[in-house]
Amino acid sequence: MLKDSLDIYGDDMHEECGVFGIFGVEDAPNLTYYGLHALQHRGQEACGISAFDGDKLNTVKGEGLVTEVFNQQKLSKLKGRIAIGHVRYSTTGGGGANNVQPFSFNHYTGDFALAHNGNLVNSRELARYLEVRGSLFHSSSDSELLAHLIKKEKSENRRIDNIIEALNMLEGAFAFLIMTKNRIYACRDKHGLRPLSIAKLGDGYVISSETCAFDIIGAEFIRDIEPGEVVTIDHHGIRSNHYSLYQRHLMCAMEYIYFARPDSDIEGCNVHSFRKLTGRYLYEQSPIEADVVIGVPDSSISAAIGYSEASGIPYEMGLIKNKYIARTFIQPSQEMRERGVRMKLSAVRSLVKDKRVVLIDDSIVRGTTSLRIVRLLKEAGAKEVHVRIASPAITHPCFYGIDMSTRSELLCARMSIAEAAKAIEADSLEFLSEESLLKAGNRSELCMACFNGCYPTSLYQNKIEEDK
Q: What is the pLDDT of residues 260-302, one digit of tens each?
A: 999 999 999 999 999 999 999 999 999 999 999 999 999 999 9
Give whole-number Cα distances, 227 to 190, 231, 246, 248, 448, in Å.
4, 11, 9, 7, 17
> How many residues would you count in the chain?
468
Q: With bands split at pLDDT 50, 70 and 90, how would you rate the model's confidence at 97?
A: confident
Inform me whether the pLDDT recorded for 82 exceeds 90: yes
Q: What is the pLDDT of residues 159-174, one digit of tens each?
A: 899 999 999 999 999 9
d(CA 343, CA 331): 12
Q: With bands split at pLDDT 50, 70 and 90, how would you rate the model's confidence at 394?
A: very high
Q: What is the pLDDT of residues 366-377, one digit of tens each?
A: 999 999 999 999
Cis check for the bond before 53: say yes or no (omega within 30 of 0): no
- H/E stretch holding 82: strand 82-88
Helix ranges, 85-217 (H): 123-131, 144-152, 159-167, 212-217
Q: Read off the pLDDT of each residue in 235-250 and give the average, rounded to a whole number.
A: 95
Q: What is the pLDDT of residues 429-449, one digit of tens each?
A: 999 999 999 999 999 999 999
136 compared with 86, residue with greater pLDDT: 86
Strand ranges for 244-349 from DSSP E: 265-266, 269-270, 292-295, 319-321, 345-347
Residue 311 near residue 322 (C-beta atoms within 8 A): no
Cis check for the bond before 102: say yes or no (omega within 30 of 0): yes
Q: What is the pLDDT of residues 102-160, one digit of tens each?
A: 999 987 778 999 999 999 999 999 998 888 877 777 777 888 899 889 887 665 568 89
SS3 124: helix
d(CA 257, CA 242): 29
> What pLDDT is recorded for position 12?
58
Q: How many CA atoms, within 13 angstroms, populate the side-chain half-sphere of residue 162?
A: 17
Q: Read off the pLDDT of each residue in 177-182 and give the average, rounded to a whole number.
A: 96
> What pLDDT is recorded for position 343?
75
Inform me whether the pLDDT recorded for 328 exceeds 50: no
Q: What is the pLDDT of residues 194-225, one digit of tens each?
A: 999 999 999 999 999 999 999 999 999 999 99
Mean pLDDT of the chain: 89
> What pLDDT is recorded for position 141?
80
> What pLDDT is recorded for position 332?
45
SS3 98: helix
Residue 317 near residue 360 (C-beta atoms within 8 A): no
Inform me whether the pLDDT recorded for 326 exceeds 60: no
> What pLDDT is recorded for position 459?
86
Q: What is the pLDDT of residues 2-35, one digit of tens each?
A: 333 223 234 555 556 999 999 999 999 999 999 9
Phi and psi dihedrals of 400, rounded to 5? -115, 25
Domains observed in the chain: 17-248 (3.60.20.10), 270-466 (3.40.50.2020)
> What pLDDT is recorded for position 342?
66
Say whether 47 is catalytic.
Answer: no
Apex 20 CA angle, 18 and 23, nearest 5: 165
> What pLDDT is recorded for position 331?
41
Q: Which residues pair with 177 in a beta bridge?
A: 115, 186
DSSP 3-state helix, strand, coil percentages of the chain (rounded to 5)?
30, 25, 45
Strand ranges for 251-352 from DSSP E: 265-266, 269-270, 292-295, 319-321, 345-347
**pTM assigned to the model:** 0.90
Residue 393 near residue 419 (C-beta atoms within 8 A): no
